[in-house]
């Protein structure tokens, strides 16, 4: 299969990245990060989550972040909403696109959102209804598609079933998350092969964490399977509070560098993106996890 000419990047750093940080990060720094990312040409930015502050304290200020950002036309600013309460809070904050998140493994579903997979899908129904009434688009996530920190192996068939359900209830796209970053290229190709029988590939996205250093190889494997939407996190920020030891998503800078080398358009300005990553890394008091950013700063 030939590679796509254009890839859409979903920047999840302000949400998937920062949700895992223990130190308090001020609203102004979060707003600055989102604005730096939109200035660098990212067309889709996940700004925060409307989840229980007891479960994920770092996302508690998401409404303030939404109120503070400079909304550029043509950019989608999205939020995670696990239930109707979250959706209502998101709507009140002026959010126009949300994501619901399920898991491919029962144990992760329990730890992450305190219910079974079937219960989570049921819980999303009123979210989908209300979102539709308000003209808000809903993206779906499935976590642990290539392995679960509690249950171990996860079958591609099981992932396909959850993806099909999310699509059937109205998610315009489903992002497949290798939450603990254990997947390898062959497993990724098999996954899209199996899931692609239930959901058209143009409605699927890849969400790779880099825990085992496989994320870029997994993105390339996905491209070969016809996938053209990828989630990534500036400076490789993050992890998941319910997947101990999981590192951040693949760094957005490294994905852009890979795609540029393949002649694939993203609309992202790499130096601007690197600068956004360096700024938030200074706020966090550590070096960026992006290899491209590190190599560029070593050269300067």
Choose between 249 and 266: whose C-beta lies nearer to ligand HMG: 249
Q: Which of residues 143-162 bind ligand HMG (CB under 6 A)?
A: 143
- H or E element that contains 36: helix 27-39
> From the candidates 148, 163, 171, 240, which is the catalytic residue?
240
Find the shortest distance in angstroms from Cβ 17 to ligand HMG. Answer: 10
CA 86, chain centre distance (Å): 18
Site track 96-135 with ligand HMG (rule: CB under 6 A), x = hit: -----x----------xxx---------------------
Find the shortest distance in angstroms from Cβ 14 to ligand HMG. Answer: 12
Candidate segments 11-19, 67-75, 106-114, 144-152, binder of Mg ion by CB under 5 A = 11-19
Candidate segments 15-23, 108-116, 253-261, 282-290, binder of Mg ion by CB under 5 A = 15-23
Q: Which of 51, 63, 102, 229 binds ligand HMG (CB under 6 A)?
A: 51
If binding is defined by CB under 6 A, does position 236 make contact with ligand HMG?
no
Q: Which of residues 195-214 bind ligand HMG (CB under 6 A)?
A: 207
For 6, list phi and psi in degrees, rounded to 5: -140, 140
For 100, list phi and psi in degrees, rounded to 5: -100, 155
Q: Which of 11, 16, 210, 253 binds Mg ion (CB under 5 A)?
A: 16
Site track 260-289 with ligand HMG (rule: CB under 6 A), x = hit: ------------------------------
If binding is defined by CB under 5 A, does position 173 make contact with Mg ion?
no
Candidate segments 50-58, 67-75, 254-262, 289-297, binder of ligand HMG by CB under 6 A = 50-58
Q: How many residues of this chain bind ligand HMG (CB under 6 A)?
A: 25
If binding is defined by CB under 6 A, does position 220 make contact with ligand HMG?
no
Find the shortest distance in angstroms from Cβ 172 to ligand HMG. Answer: 16
Whether 171 sits among the annotated catalytic residues: the reply is no
Choose between 77 and 108: whose C-beta lies nearer to Mg ion: 108
Find the shortest distance in angstroms from Cβ 246 to ligand HMG. Answer: 8
Q: Do 168 and 127 form a contact (C-beta atoms < 8 A)?
A: no
Q: Do 257 and 236 form a contact (C-beta atoms < 8 A)?
A: no
Question: DSSP assignment of the chain, as one string?
Answer: -PPPSB-EEEE-IIIIIGGG--S---HHHHHHHHHHHHHTT-SEEEEEE-S-TTT-GGGTTHHHHHHHS---TT-EEEEE-SSHHHHHHHHHTT--EEEEEEESSHHHHHHHHSS-HHHHHHHHHHHHHHHHHTT-EEEEEEE-TT-BTTTB---HHHHHHHHHHHHHTT-SEEEEEETT----HHHHHHHHHHHTTTS-GGGEEEEEB-TTS-HHHHHHHHHHTT--EEEEBGGG---BTTBTT---BPBHHHHHHHHHHTT-B----HHHHHHHHHHHHHHHTS--S-HHHHHHHHH-
- H or E element that contains 219: helix 215-224
Site of interaction with Mg ion (CB under 5 A): 16
Site of interaction with ligand HMG (CB under 6 A): 16, 19, 49-52, 55-56, 80, 82-83, 85-86, 89, 101, 112-114, 141, 143, 177, 179, 207, 240-241
Which residues have a catalytic role annotated?
A: 240
């Amino acid at each position: 299969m030939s590679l796509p000419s254009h890839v859409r990047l979903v920047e999840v750093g302000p949400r998937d990245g920062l949700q895992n940080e223990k130190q308090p990060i001020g609203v102004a720094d979060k707003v600055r990060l989102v604005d730096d990312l939109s200035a660098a040409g990212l067309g889709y930015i996940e700004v925060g989550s409307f989840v229980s502050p007891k479960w994920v304290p770092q996302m508690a200020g998401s409404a303030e972040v939404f109120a503070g950002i400079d909304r550029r036309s043509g950019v989608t600013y999205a939020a995670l909403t696990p239930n109707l309460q979250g959706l209502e809070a998101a709507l009140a904050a002026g959010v126009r696109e949300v994501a619901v998140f399920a898991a491919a493994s029962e144990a992760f579903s329990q730890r992450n959102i305190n219910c079974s997979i079937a219960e989570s899908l049921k819980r999303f129904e009123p979210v989908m209804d209300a979102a539709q009434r308000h003209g808000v688009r809903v993206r779906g996530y499935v976590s642990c598609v290539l392995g679960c920190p509690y249950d171990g192996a996860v079958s591609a068939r099981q992932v396909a079933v959850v993806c099909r359900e999310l699509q059937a209830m109205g998610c315009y796209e489903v992002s497949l998350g290798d939450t603990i970053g254990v997947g390898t290229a062959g497993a990724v190709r098999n996954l899209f092969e199996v899931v692609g029988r239930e959901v058209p590939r143009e409605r699927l996205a890849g969400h790779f964490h880099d825990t085992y250093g496989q994320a870029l190889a997994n993105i390339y494997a996905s491209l070969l399977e016809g996938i053209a939407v990828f989630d990534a996190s500036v400076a490789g920020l993050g992890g998941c509070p319910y997947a101990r030891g999981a590192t951040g998503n693949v760094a957005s800078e490294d994905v852009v560098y890979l795609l540029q080398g393949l002649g694939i358009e993203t609309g992202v300005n790499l130096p601007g993106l690197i600068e956004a990553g360096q700024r938030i890394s200074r706020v966090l008091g550590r070096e960026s996890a992006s290899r491209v950013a590190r190599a560029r700063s070593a050269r300067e």
